[in-house]
Amino acid sequence: MANINHQQANAILSQAFERAEQAFIASIEIETKQGIDRNLDVIFDSGTQAYREVLLGCCVAKTVSPSIDVHLPYVKQDKNAFNGRDLDENVINPFLQGKQIPSSKGPYLSVFRRQVEFTQVTRKGVRDKEGYDALVFVINELAKGKEDDRDKLLVALLFRFIKLREQANIPITKPHRVSLVQYRDLLNRLVPAQSGGWFPVLFAISMFKTIKDYFNLDWEITWQSINVADSASGVGGDITIKSKNKIFISVEITLRQVDKARLISTFNTKIAPSGVEDYLFLVGTNDPSKEAFEQAERYFAQGHEVNFAEIVNWIIMLLATFGKRGREIFGLHLVSLLESNETTQAAKVAWNDAINNLFIR
């Protein structure tokens, strides 16, 4: 029997999942060998979800231990067989559940007869023969494929699991209370997280909504969807706040350093055309360049104020100023935005993980 190191299997899964998630956020499809994509479509369309979980387990097992025979998931079958049930119970199923991906509650091998082989011998004993044929095809390709082929297949599989998760409804974890210290921890965890830019925007919108409610202002707060170009949406920034139908302030959120070239481009394409007098960059930990500050001073002389604030410190200072009531308002707005259908499932899972980590320490 080939031994599968579970710690190594978890590490491989985590690394591949991160790559798949980055590709999903960037809308980059993962290419695989000819014929595999079509069969993956059949497997993921199948009502027997164990098929896709079987394939993920086989792919991870073959990656950890290339000498195994992925057709044989029971240890007594052959010296090159592997313990598929053990791998599923300790690695595959917990991983899928942890990422809140729709998956079986029990081991996938429970849907097959004992001592099953992933070959055509088993075909007559299954209901969904089309799905099973597709599974065997991909397992055969996995068995003879090279390391690079296995790697691409694993990422492609996880990419499809992520797409599957996007169709599911993931409930948001709602903490009863969050202290100022805990909010700083959350912000430091989530603002730089791989989220396709969701968290900095969600936090900023929540804060502007909190300011409006706290002081009962007449603000009209609008924002554009993530990854929509400003020129296409016709707005001056990521968030636009109007008062009495006039732009009060436009806000752009970026974690990349703002340099002179970017500032000039922003002025020419957003600030000047919209006549924005007050433009705020909410930035990450990288300070704008010296040249950007100097250029902002030139625009100030022309009647356009361009300012910069580090987003985490900006939010924390306001939460500290608003006190308990303000933090409660902020939390309600944040949860409401997280529950929106526009928010990606990846962002919802990252929020739930961060909240769980925060309160179980």
Domain boundaries, the chain: 6-166, 180-359
- Side chain identity at residue 249, one-letter code: I
What is the model's pTM?
A: 0.79
Q: What is the Cα–Cα distance from 165 to 339, expressed in whole angstroms?
A: 15
Quick one: which of 59, 267, 278, 276 has its CA closest to 156? 59
Paired strand residues for 254: 283
Predicted confidence (pLDDT) at residue 99 exceeds the cutoff of 80: yes
| CATH top class, domain 180-359 | alpha beta
Q: How many CB atoms lie within 10 A of CB 3?
A: 11
What ranges in the chain are assigned the alpha helix state H? 6-25, 36-45, 50-64, 84-87, 93-98, 129-144, 147-166, 180-190, 198-215, 230-233, 260-266, 272-274, 290-301, 311-338, 345-359
The closest alpha carbon to 346, from 100, 57, 6, belongs to: 100
CA-nearest of 98, 102, 125 to 114 is 125
d(CA 97, CA 339): 20
Pairing of strands 220-223, 246-254: unpaired
**pLDDT per residue as tens digits for the range 178-233:** 999 999 999 999 999 877 788 999 999 999 999 999 999 999 999 986 644 444 44
- Summarize pLDDT for 36-56 with one digit per residue, the tens: 999 999 999 999 899 999 999
Tell me the mean pLDDT in the region 256-265. Answer: 95
Q: What percent of the chain has pLDDT over 70?
A: 94
Using the predicted structure, report yes or no on whether residue 108 has a pLDDT greater than 80: no
The dihedrals phi and psi of 36, each to the nearest 5 degrees, come to -75, -45
